[in-house]
Amino acid sequence: MLRVVVFGILSVLLLTACGPSPEALRRQQMLEAQRAEAARLEAERKARERDQLISSRMKEAHQTWKAAQYTGDDSLSALFRQSGFDYGKVYYFNIPVQAQEYNYAEGKQSFLVTDLRNLNDSQIYSALFPDVSAAYQPGQKARSVLELILKREEYTNNLEQQVERPRGQRWVAAVEDFKSVNTLHPLQIDWRWEPGLFEDISWIVNPERAYEFTRSRSMFLQVGLRFCPLDRCRTEYEYRQHPVDAIRAEVISMVLGNSQSGEILAEFVRDKP
């Protein structure tokens, strides 16, 4: 019995001796508090940088909206010739938007971006947007891509209208599918992208408010793009007998509004560098 008692006392003393001392515990707690504080400060720093980036990009987008100064043919030609353009610069384009019939069942006004084309898992862009989940092989399908038509080869018809030339050249920007993947930060909560083919963006609004803006048929989308300068970011192909010259780009900002009233209804911005 005495041996058992002695053994128990020795075991307690041994465990106490092997455990952390009060000073070590305090030091460990202090280090954990310092790590937590450092993580908090780093999160605050990143949040400030993100807010500053969003503010800077939207300021430039608003200035472009007010001035209505968009990329002209000379600048566009320089982009596609890969000469005389700056990768860091954002190029702005004015893209028409068509209002669809008001959807009373869902309480939304949807719009179709007329020069936007959906390409799901397109092999055409497998070299520009390879699937990161698999080793790239020629002919492999790409992630879903959207095309923004920046310019069409046109001519004046007998009615003095500008129309696309048969078999005419198209110049497009290929971007990641922001309709399905959350790459653009919305600044208004009542707007959402639609993944389908027959509507691109919807406004959750009552019909009276929607009609104020859709009746003039003056809605358009201002898109700010940053282009990739590398040779591997370019491709050429043919679509419905139209030669297509494409460059991979990133959408930096989008502003949707009414060109007559000048009112902005929706804003989206890339919140990453």
Which tens digits make up the pLDDT trace of 190-230? 999 998 788 999 999 999 999 998 988 889 999 999 999 88
| 1 or 230: which leads in pLDDT | 230
Per-residue pLDDT, 135: 46
- Given pLDDT bands bounded at 50, 70 and 90, which one contains residue 133? low
Residue 225 phi/psi, 5° resolution? -120, 145
pLDDT of 134 strictly over 50? no
pLDDT, mean over the chain: 86
pLDDT of 2 strictly over 80? no
Judged by phi (left if over 0) then psi (alpha if -120 to 50, else beta), residue 139 lies in left
% of the chain exceeding 90 in pLDDT: 54
**Cα 254 from Cα 93, distance rounded (Å):** 10
Task: Tell me which H or E stretch contains 41.
Answer: helix 22-67
- Given pLDDT bands bounded at 50, 70 and 90, which one contains residue 19? low
Joined together, the tokens standing for residue 126 give 């497998």
| 108 or 259: which leads in pLDDT | 108
Please check whether residue 243 is in contact with residue 261, taking contact to mean a CB–CB distance below 8 angstroms. no
pLDDT of 112 strictly over 70? yes
User: Looking at residue 103, what DSSP letter applies?
Assistant: B
Per-residue pLDDT, 10: 52
Question: What is the tens place of the pLDDT at every residue in 159-194?
Answer: 888 889 999 999 999 999 999 888 899 999 999 999
Could you report how far apart the first and last alpha carbons of the chain are, in Å? 73
Mean pLDDT over 230-235 rounds to: 89
- Which one-letter amino acid corresponds to residue 113? V
**Cα 227 from Cα 76, distance rounded (Å):** 11
Task: Tell me which H or E stretch contains 145.
Answer: strand 145-152
- Given pLDDT bands bounded at 50, 70 and 90, which one contains residue 5? very low
